Amino acid sequence: MNARTLFFIGVATVLGVGLVAGSGAAADVTPSEADIVVGDSSAANATTIQEGVNQAPSGGTVYVESGLYAGNVTVTDPVRIVGPNATIAGSGPTDGGAGVVAQAPTAIEGLAIGATQAAVVVDTSGTVRIDDLLAGDTRVAVEGTNATGPVVVENSELRATDDGIARTYPAGHLAVKNTTIDSEGRGIDVAMSSGRSAGAPSTATTAATVSIRNSTVVANGSAVGVRADSLNVETVRVYSPADGLTTIAGTASLTDLTVDTRGYGVAAWTANGASLTSSDVTAESVGVGLNGANASIEATAIDAGTDGVVAESTNASVKRVSVTAGRDGLALSNGVFSASRAGIRANRTAVNASRAALDASDLSLEAWRGVHAMGHVQVGIDHSDVTATRAALAVPASGSVSVSRSWLSTGSAPTVRSASGASIDIEASEFATTDRVVEASGRTTAINTTGSWWGQAGGPTAADVSGPVESAAPADTPIAPTAVADRALPVEPIDGTVPRDDDFDGVFEDLSADGTINFPDVNTYFQHTEDRVITAFVTYFDIDGDGAAGLQDVLALFETV
């Protein structure tokens, strides 16, 4: 067992990953190919890494043999340091100095660095590439004191007692690939700006751009997992006791992201928009916060302790999203929003819109209150179903709500609660309530109820309405309940087909979407039990009601055929 492995066996145990000694580009370099060899063999030209770096020609390669070496190696000319079995060790994370200080373009490959204040310090406008680094027992794994150039960290394992990667003056670009970060502070923090002001996007004089691919970030302290001015993320897992990912003043493109956090899952306080796609967000606070122009969430599952999505002062779209929220599903304010093919289950309000315009279609809402429109709001809902215990629609004074081709169910509560001056347009929809369809305060206008089913052929009667509602033409031929368009699953198709919930019970048993529950549905479920569309949206495929989705549900579906 070499020195690198001995020194870092504890790091690998904590991270739960295998050691990667010699797995990167360093494994392809031999001493004979290097300009300088550091070590105690007959082939060595130097005995310390600093001596080897000093002797190397500009742009040359220094090969470090297996062994334990002193740190505070300072690079002032471009060099490549290769050490697949070499370890740099300081005296400790509080006073151990740095492993390598890059003051010129530097490539560091295969080293293990520990017991230092910083494993690698970047102090250059040139490119610094770190490959196959194993860092542990260090305050900060990679620290930029004046890192104005590109920094690339790949195929590495970084463990830090403070931040994993921190850049003090981040004017350049940070790329992290195939890397695991386990830190007691922030996982990655390279943002110039801090937070936001009064709901408006923060601005930074110099933007820090971070790209992360195929990596895991674990922040164990009370700090954010990843914070940057701009983020480009794909296939990344983030775990944090604070916020998962925070972007400030730049852009955010987040794909195939898994977040588990006690704070915000994703806080995208960006000036230029954010996109979150094909992701899973679990947060004890808000699932996703959006603030800025042209934001979008698509094909994503959000499980939040408070609000699922908070969107402020933005143009935002939500499509094929599943939201489970302890408070509000969508909290929208001061913007123009669109929502389609979304399933929202909330303990308070499914959609809470304040001073906003919302265009929604193909929604499945289940909450104490379905849609709450506050202030000067224009809300349009089409081809949706709303199940609520308080009210399907709550419309304030001066609010305007239109509903078409939808199912509104409130049990024993009024379906619509409206204030003076509210405007309600209901067309080709169905109502399921033993109370009044409309409970009005002041003068409310219910416009165009043609084609809607109110529970009796003649349209609304005096028993349906509480308060002075202006008359609306009753339907000549009310539609039957089965005529309402079917509910569409708010996630990806299965084998190209979007499953349906034909009986409006919140479970999508008709996986083949042919209008019946049959053996093709059972076979489809069996073939796709491990697919993300089922594992990420369990509540829609929980046939037996046990809170899980799997083979027991296949059997339960089989028994219904």
pLDDT in tens, 154-185: 999 999 999 999 875 555 789 999 999 999 99
pLDDT exceeds 70 at position 236:
yes
State the CB neighbour count (10 A cutoff) for residue 481. 11
Residue in this structure with the two tokens 């699932």, named with its chain if needed: 287
Query: By mean pLDDT, which of 96-105, 130-139, 158-167, 477-486 is the weakest?
Result: 477-486
Q: What is the pLDDT of residue 449?
A: 63
* pLDDT band, very low/low/confident/very high, at 8 (cuts 50, 70, 90): very low
Residue 278 and residue 299 in contact, taking contact as beta carbons nearer than 8 Å: yes
* pLDDT band, very low/low/confident/very high, at 460 (cuts 50, 70, 90): low
Alpha-carbon span 210 to 227, nearest angstrom: 9
* pLDDT band, very low/low/confident/very high, at 306 (cuts 50, 70, 90): very high
- Tell me the chain's radius of gyration from C-alpha atoms: 29
DSSP-derived secondary structure letter, 482: G
At 46, phi and psi to the nearest 5? -145, 155
Residue 206 and residue 225 in contact, taking contact as beta carbons nearer than 8 Å: no
Alpha-carbon span 201 to 251, nearest angstrom: 11
Residue 139 and residue 117 in contact, taking contact as beta carbons nearer than 8 Å: yes
Q: Encode pLDDT of 26-67 as tens digits.
A: 557 888 899 999 999 999 999 999 999 999 999 999 999 999
Alpha-carbon span 481 to 477, nearest angstrom: 12
CA 83 vs CA 21, 38, 39, 133, 176: distances in Å: 9, 9, 10, 10, 20
Q: What is the pLDDT of residue 453?
A: 63
State mean pLDDT over 188-210. Answer: 55
pLDDT exceeds 80 at position 312:
yes
CA 220 vs CA 97, 144, 261, 283, 433: distances in Å: 24, 21, 10, 15, 49
* Mean pLDDT of all residues belonging to the chain: 82
CA-CA-CA-CA dihedral for 325, 330, 333, 339, to nearest 10: 170
Query: Which pairing describes strands 357-374 and 378-382: parallel, antiparallel, or unpaired?
Result: parallel
Query: By mean pLDDT, which of 74-88, 186-200, 258-272, 488-502 is the weakest?
Result: 186-200
DSSP SS3 for 540: helix
Q: Encode pLDDT of 252-300 as tens digits.
A: 899 999 999 999 999 988 767 789 999 999 999 999 998 877 899 998 9
Alpha-carbon span 360 to 384, nearest angstrom: 8
> Which residue blocks in 16-57 are alpha helix, DSSP H?
49-55
Q: Which CATH number fits domain 35-195+203-242: 3.30.420, 3.90.1720, 2.160.20, 1.20.120?
A: 2.160.20
Q: What is the pLDDT of residue 25?
A: 57
Residue 435 and residue 412 in contact, taking contact as beta carbons nearer than 8 Å: yes
> Which residue blocks in 376-531 are alpha helix, DSSP H?
519-527
Q: How many residues does the chain have?
A: 561
Residue 11 and residue 157 in contact, taking contact as beta carbons nearer than 8 Å: yes
Domain layout of the chain by residue ranges: 35-195+203-242, 327-484, 489-560
Residue 62 and residue 52 in contact, taking contact as beta carbons nearer than 8 Å: yes
Alpha-carbon span 377 to 399, nearest angstrom: 5
* pLDDT band, very low/low/confident/very high, at 466 (cuts 50, 70, 90): low
* pLDDT band, very low/low/confident/very high, at 505 (cuts 50, 70, 90): low
Residue 555 host element (H or E): helix 551-560
Q: What is the pLDDT of residue 455?
A: 54
State mean pLDDT over 114-142. Answer: 93
Q: What is the pLDDT of residue 527?
A: 92
Q: What is the pLDDT of residue 361?
A: 87
Q: What is the pLDDT of residue 272?
A: 73
Alpha-carbon span 130 to 151, nearest angstrom: 8
Alpha-carbon span 48 to 74, nearest angstrom: 12
Q: Encode pLDDT of 398-452 as tens digits.
A: 788 888 878 888 888 888 888 877 888 887 777 777 777 778 777 766 666 656 6
Q: Encode pLDDT of 339-395 as tens digits.
A: 988 889 999 999 999 888 999 988 889 999 999 987 778 899 988 889 999 899 988
Q: What is the pLDDT of residue 464?
A: 61
pLDDT exceeds 50 at position 511:
yes
Residue 534 host element (H or E): helix 532-535
Q: What is the pLDDT of residue 476?
A: 39
Alpha-carbon span 238 to 226, nearest angstrom: 8
Q: What is the pLDDT of residue 199?
A: 33
Q: What is the pLDDT of residue 15?
A: 32
Q: What is the pLDDT of residue 412?
A: 80
Query: By mean pLDDT, which of 4-13, 397-406, 466-475 is the weakest?
Result: 4-13
* pLDDT band, very low/low/confident/very high, at 494 (cuts 50, 70, 90): confident
pLDDT exceeds 80 at position 146:
no
State mean pLDDT over 199-218. Answer: 69
Q: What is the pLDDT of residue 504?
A: 57
Task: Tell me the β-bridge partners of 134.
Answer: 112, 157
Separate counts of helices (H) and strands (E) for the chain: 5, 46
